Chains A and B, each alone.
Chain A
Amino acid sequence: MANYTLSKEIYSHLMNGKMLNKHLLDNAGDDTVNPLFIEIIDNKDEYVKQYKMSGYHLVIAPINDPEYICIVATGTLDGTKTELAMKAMTMLLVIGQYINHHKFKLSKLTNAKSGGLTEDDFLKMADMPHVKEILEKSKLITKGERTLQDVVMKLLVHRDIMIEVPSKKAYILTNPGHSFYQEIQRKFDTESELANEEDNTTIDTQAS
Chain B
Amino acid sequence: MVINREAILAGILKHKSHFFRFVDVINANETALQFPMTAYLKFYEQVIYQDDDYALKDILSVEALLQANVFVNIDGLTNMVTLSKDIYNILVWLDISRKKQLDSQPFESHRQDVVRLANELTTLPIEGINFKETYAFFYEKLSDIQVDISENMRVLDYRVDEIADMYKSREMGSLETGLDELFHRAQHVYHRNITPCLEFINPSLELKGTKNLSETLKDLEHYFEEIGEVDKARTLQFRVGAIFCYYKDIRAIASRLNAYLVNLAQEREFFLSMERAFGVLVESLVPLRHGRHQNKYLNADSEVFKLATTFDGLEDHKKKYEKRFNYSPSRGLDHFNNYYEMMLRRPLKQKLDNPLRALPLEIDIEEERCEQILSITLYEIAVDNMIENVQRYVWQKLQELLPNAGIIDFLYALEYFLSALDDACVSQRRNDRDRIDDGVYYLDYIIWDYAEASL
A-side interface residues toward B, CB under 8 Å? 14-17, 27, 56-57, 59, 61, 70-73, 76-82, 84-86, 88-90, 93-94, 96-97, 99-100, 102-106, 130, 133-134, 137-139, 159, 176, 179-181, 183-185, 187-189
Contact = CB atoms under 8 A, between A and B. Distances in A.
B368 to A, nearest CB: 12
Interface of B: 170-171, 173, 175, 179, 266-267, 269-278, 281-282, 285, 288, 296-300, 302, 304-305, 307-318, 364
12 contacts: A16-B317, A17-B316, A72-B313, A73-B313, A77-B312, A82-B311, A82-B315, A84-B316, A86-B302, A90-B281, A137-B285, A183-B310
B311 A73 contact: no
A181 to B, nearest CB: 7
A188 B314 contact: no
- Closest 9 pairs between A and B when the two form their complex, measured CB to CB: A72-B313, A76-B313, A85-B311, A81-B300, A96-B274, A97-B278, A17-B316, A185-B273, A15-B318
B277 A188 contact: yes
Contact of B307 (A16, A106, A134, A184): A184
Contacts of B281: 90, 93, 130, 134
B79 to A, nearest CB: 42
Given A89-B304, A105-B171, A70 B314 contact: yes
Contacts of A56: 317
Contacts, number: 148
A8 to B, nearest CB: 13
A57 B313 CA distance: 10
A188 B266 CA distance: 14
Contact of A93 (B278, B300, B314, B315): B278
A70 B311 CA distance: 9
Nearest to A77: B313
A17 B317 contact: yes
Contacts of A105: 170-171, 267
A70 B297 CA distance: 27
Contacts of A189: 269, 273
A72 to B, nearest CB: 3
A137 B297 contact: yes
Contacts of B310: 61, 176, 179-180, 183
Of listed B173, B282, B305, B312, residue having the most chain A CB within 10 A: B312
A166 to B, nearest CB: 11
